[in-house]
Amino acid sequence: MQHQGRLGNLTREKPTDFCPQTEPLNPKAHADLERRLALDFQDSGYKHKAYDALSGAIQVPTESYDDLGPVGEDERWETFGQLHEYLEKTFPNVFEKLQVTKVNTYGIVLRWKGSDESLRPVLMTAHQDVVPVEPATVDQWIHPPYSGHFDGEWIWGRGSCDDKSDLVASLHAIDALLKHGFEPKRTFVWAYGFDEEAAGTEGAGHLATYLEQQYGTHGFELMLDEGGSYGTPYGDDVVFAVPALSEKGYLDIRIEVSTKGGHSSVPPKHTAIGILSSMIVAVEENPHEPELVRGGSPYNSTMCAAVFGPSYPSHIRKLALKAGYGDDEALHDLRDALLETFPRFEAILRTTQAVDLVQGGVKVNALPEKVSAVVNHRIAEHSSVRELQKHMTDTILPIAKKYDLSVDAFGVSVSAGSGQGGRVALSDAWGTALEPSPVTPTGKDDPYQILAGTIKATIESSEGYNAKGIVVAPLLAIGNTDTRYYWNVTKNIFRYHHLHENDRYNGAHTVNEAVRAEGWIESIRFYTKFVLNVDENL
């Protein structure tokens, strides 16, 4: 899916050109090494040792919280030191033979120096932290959330899917390659953050700065982080793998209304809370318009599904092909059909907004003088922070005029009411505004081809594989990962988690998080194959 800029236009001749595919890629120079690794991964003793390693990591409750203070000032970070001790004891070969650097105390950097210093290094990441377990839900877990219990099929516990599975799988991959004497030509670096589930500022924020200082801007050939997975959404005959090549932007907007106080026995017609409520209603009644843009990630992933998905709805397939051949009316109808048929496109095709925090009032007989709400936004690939700010300002202005409020919109005074009724201020709640990410290129000579080929080869060679085909269909990540901090270290950022959708018991961030043990071994196989392919093909 070659992009021509973010909103590029495409001209195609054949339907398959709408979703170009690469061939499975297996190591050639390292073919014998990979055969030996395959025997290791099939061994029951090896598997159970690997399961034990993941189980032990899950048992360390490395929860990250939104209100954590800086490292060194908040003792809750200390649990990560316990995890480090466990990892170093479990993988002694890795921590002895690779260069180890600790960044901001708990960020881990592992550097495996290659023999050819002229080659740009490769970066792979994961995160050590997990979302907290809600105490009220503990009794709903089949097995305790930090038990790491292996029942013969599933490994249970918080982090089994997000993201200790990637963390431990990557360490197993390094350990296996070391055991067989692999010596890379290219330098490989692994960076493990520790607050991805919060803001990432203490972990990946510091790691990215350190790595840019060490290797320079765009000093890495590529980066692989957590992200999309693989499965059979359109029938069992074809496997779809969906690495994310871009992410939505992010902005929390605070709406703060200030009015005169007084005794609640003599109230105005509308208190500050009432005024704020009308603004919240207006925000929810004015959602952002969805857009499907040729050349954008949602469009490209749709074309892949339309061309290769056996059970993809025929009416949407027809619209997609018409749109692919340049029919603008069909493109408009395709957007509407996607929204009607697949609810997830409500979040994919538009900037989303969710009113998540409301504060106001201190006493029942005192009129509130300052009240606020925070609206969380995930900014669509085709939009921007500035466009979102304008949309919010335009939504709030009529209400401000109605109640005679002055308006400060993101530091700029905007003409509205006189201010006799009070003031409304719109602001970036925590200074975390983030534009939509750059889109990773997918040209025939780009590193993406190695990722796609490795994904195909790993799935194709997996035990029990019987599908008729594998399609790699890049998509847009609607959440935000640690990759937001790494834009300056490489232009080739891949967000992918090599795990089948059926190998996650109940997903992540909820009760009964668990990973199917046999399926998780495939993650280790993928990492080793990826390292070998990158080392001999880039």
Which segments are annotated as binding site for Zn(2+)?
127, 162, 197, 225, 509
- Whose CA is closest to 324, among 314, 315, 334? 334
Report how far apart the first and last C-alpha atoms of the chain are (Å, whole number). 20
Strand (E) or helix (H) holding 238: strand 238-241
Q: Which amino acid is at 442?
A: T
Evaluate whether 513 touches 145 at the Cβ level (below 8 Å).
Answer: yes
DSSP one-letter code for 415: -
Task: Return all residues near 45 (Cβ < 8 A) that are at least 6 apart.
Answer: none
Beta bridge partners of 422: 405
The rounded distance, in Å, linking the Cα atoms of 321 and 324 is: 5
CB atoms within 10 A of CB 442: 21
Evaluate whether 310 touches 376 at the Cβ level (below 8 Å).
Answer: no
Two tokens at 55?
Answer: 């189980």
Two tokens at 149?
Answer: 């219990």
C-alpha 144 chain-centroid distance: 26
Evaluate whether 185 touches 535 at the Cβ level (below 8 Å).
Answer: yes
Residues forming the annotated binding site?
Answer: 127, 162, 197, 225, 509
SS3 sequence of 70-115: CCCCCHHHHHHHHHHHHHHHHCHHHHHHCEEEEECCCEEEEEECCC
SS3 sequence of 107-171: EEEEEECCCCCCCCCEEEEEECCECCCCHHHHHHCCCCCCCCCECCCEEECCCCCCCHHHHHHHH
Beta bridge partners of 407: 414, 424
The rounded distance, in Å, linking the Cα atoms of 190 and 173 is: 12
Evaluate whether 412 touches 418 at the Cβ level (below 8 Å).
Answer: no
CB atoms within 10 A of CB 66: 10
What number of CA atoms fall less than 13 Å from residue 139's CA on the CB side?
A: 1
What number of CA atoms fall less than 13 Å from residue 294's CA on the CB side?
A: 20
Q: Which amino acid is at 177?
A: L
505: helix, strand or coil = coil
Two tokens at 493?
Answer: 């950022």
Beta bridge partners of 495: 225, 244
Dihedral pair phi/psi, residue 399, rounded to 5°: -70, -40
So which residues are the catalytic ones? 129, 196
Evaluate whether 57 touches 148 at the Cβ level (below 8 Å).
Answer: yes
The rounded distance, in Å, linking the Cα atoms of 84 and 88 is: 6
